[in-house]
Amino acid sequence: MPAGTTVDLLQLGPDFVRDPYPHYARLRAQAPVHHVRAADGSQVYLVLGHEACRAALTDARLSRNWRGSGRLRQIINAAEDDPNLAHMSMADPPDHTRLRRLVTRAFTPRRIQALTPRVQEITDHLLDTMTRSATRTADLVQALAFPLPLTVICELLGVPEPDRDAFRHWSDDMLAPLSPQAQHTAYTELGAYLRRLVAAQRARPGDDLLSALIHTVDEDGDRLSPDELVGMCNLLLIAGHETTTHLIAGGLRTLFAHPVQLELLRADLSLVEGAVEEMLRYDGPVESSLERLALVDVELGGVRIPAGSTVRMVLADADRDGARFERPECFDIRRDARGHIAFGHGLHYCLGAPLARLEAAIALRGLLQRCPDLAPAADVATLEWIPGLLIRGVRTLPVRW
């Protein structure tokens, strides 16, 4: 049957952005799919619940190939031939299969694991700087959660240090733009920068990941094209720091809201890896998946989604579904949280998940060791949340110690 009345998300309650979970749960109890109007006025079909989201994430009728659809402007104010979009996250098989195979040859588990000492070194340096504050206060986002993953991914790709500040601006305007023009400008400026970066690394290759991507060739002689190199750099730079920033900050925000769990973790830091998994499940940094395009009329959970519609799977709701997790509203760092889909599911599962887990664990362990009296310095109700349905997080997180 077709979806019922369009749901205006802003009308669900004044606290929807801060705490969407009870609203999603009420919608899920009615049906697994709803046609909604988002805050920016766009209309999208939301898929709710763990089982429905997993099924939708592997449904070939829901495409990520927006570049060849003629409908790209439904989701992004960018040109269809923009090289920033020439990456595996904007492709279906067989193109996705080819691109992921080439990138995986360079972005190996061994390369990620070898980063452990450097991630620890960067974390220690950032904490040294933060704890020198005479006021014993800081914005945790600016002091640690943002610069740590940004520094790691920029070093991986060989981005010079003076150029890194620009990525915060570009990333914000690409993922949570204040206007369509701001998003278009960010795509244009980042694309031009990445072309220069690729050219520089091609001329002077090093031991960085971008140099490896430039020179990676598979058994059939296939390699990434110039546009695909720009696209993969875009994907790795933006996805490689944005979600981890909000995993670290969001994880700490959740601990502050659950003081018993915070004390449990402080008393036994060997629990930190499991705590990261529960943070991902309970209040992860990605609220809903990237947009999918319905290639044909699709029926999910008895609801018909017309061809050409924009569809998003609400990962946040899936991981709070009582049909999958016992007492899902309970934050418990000793829970076995395996099976969450905070990093997605299926062929678009996040390639950088191991790096995000590594960075979050090192950051949280170091923070709690260095600042045993760490506490929030502002009421969570006063924090500014990032708009939109993609990233779940706050722009600042004031702390004291």
According to the model, what pLDDT value does residue 77 have? 87
Residue 276 has pLDDT above 90, yes or no: yes
* Average pLDDT, integer, range 208-235: 89
**Cα(61)–Cα(64) distance, rounded to whole angstroms?**
10
What tokens appear for 54 in the block?
Answer: 């997993």
Element (H, E) at 214: helix 209-215
* Average pLDDT, integer, range 374-390: 92
**Cα(264)–Cα(100) distance, rounded to whole angstroms?**
39
Residue 176 has pLDDT above 80, yes or no: no
* Average pLDDT, integer, range 290-315: 96
According to the model, what pLDDT value does residue 326 have? 96
| One-letter amino acid of 238 | I
How would you classify residue 301: left for phi > 0, otherwise alpha for psi between -120 and 50, otherwise beta?
Answer: left
Give the relative orientation of helices 226-257 and 95-106 as an angle to the nearest 10 degrees: 70
Residue 22 has pLDDT above 90, yes or no: yes
**Cα(370)–Cα(393) distance, rounded to whole angstroms?**
24
**Cα(368)–Cα(110) distance, rounded to whole angstroms?**
28
Query: If pLDDT is split at 50, 70 and 90, which confidence band does 49 have?
Result: very high
Residue 7: Cβ-neighbour burial (10 angstroms; 0-12, 13-18, 19+): middle
End-to-end CA distance of the chain: 55
Residue 1 has pLDDT above 80, yes or no: no
**Cα(396)–Cα(382) distance, rounded to whole angstroms?**
10
**Cα(72)–Cα(360) distance, rounded to whole angstroms?**
33
- Cβ(359)–Cβ(279) under 8 Å? no
According to the model, what pLDDT value does residue 299 have? 95
pLDDT (tens digit, 9 = 90+) per residue, 92-145? 999 999 999 999 988 888 889 999 999 999 999 999 999 999 999 999 999 999
- Cβ(283)–Cβ(316) under 8 Å? yes
Instruction: Give bridge partners of residue 391 from the DSSP assignment.
Output: 286
According to the model, what pLDDT value does residue 177 have? 79
Q: Which residues make Cβ contacts (< 8 Å) with residue 214, sequence separation at least 6? A: 198, 201, 202, 205, 224, 229
Query: If pLDDT is split at 50, 70 and 90, which confidence band does 3 have?
Result: low
| One-letter amino acid of 34 | H
Most confident of 111-115, 232-236, 271-275: 271-275
What tokens appear for 316 in the block?
Answer: 């946040």
**Cα(287)–Cα(116) distance, rounded to whole angstroms?**
28
Query: If pLDDT is split at 50, 70 and 90, which confidence band does 343 have?
Result: very high
Residue 71 has pLDDT above 90, yes or no: yes
Q: Any idea where the domains of the chain sit in the sequence?
A: 7-400
According to the model, what pLDDT value does residue 240 have? 81
User: Considering the domain 7-400 in this protein, what is its CATH number?
Assistant: 1.10.630.10
Query: If pLDDT is split at 50, 70 and 90, which confidence band does 216 have?
Result: confident
In this prediction the pTM is: 0.93
Q: Give the strand order in the sheet containing 62-63.
A: 7-8, 33-37, 43-47, 310-313, 292-294, 62-63
Residue 208 has pLDDT above 90, yes or no: no
CA nearest 220: which of 98, 110, 111? 98
According to the model, what pLDDT value does residue 221 have? 86
Average pLDDT, the chain: 93
Task: Compare 380 and 148 and report the one with higher pLDDT.
Answer: 148
Residue 4 has pLDDT above 70, yes or no: no
**Cα(249)–Cα(218) distance, rounded to whole angstroms?**
39
Sequence-ordered alpha helix ranges (H) in 58-179: 95-106, 109-113, 116-131, 140, 147-157, 165-175
What tokens appear for 368 in the block?
Answer: 């709690």
According to the model, what pLDDT value does residue 110 have? 87
Cα–Cα distances in Å, from 198 out to 82, 151, 203, 232, 243?
A: 16, 18, 9, 11, 24
- Cβ(169)–Cβ(186) under 8 Å? yes
Looking up tokens 């629990």 gives 271
CA nearest 291: which of 127, 108, 66? 66
Please count the residues of the chain: 401
Residue 302 has pLDDT above 60, yes or no: yes
According to the model, what pLDDT value does residue 5 have? 81
Query: If pLDDT is split at 50, 70 and 90, which confidence band does 303 have?
Result: very high
Q: What is the 3-state secondary structure (H, E, C) of 354-383?
A: HHHHHHHHHHHHHHHHHCCCCEECCCHHHC
Residue 86 has pLDDT above 80, yes or no: yes
According to the model, what pLDDT value does residue 2 have? 56
* Average pLDDT, integer, range 243-263: 97
Element (H, E) at 237: helix 226-257
Q: What are phi and psi of 383, to 5 degrees?
A: -75, 150
Residues of the chain with pLDDT > 70: what percent?
Answer: 99
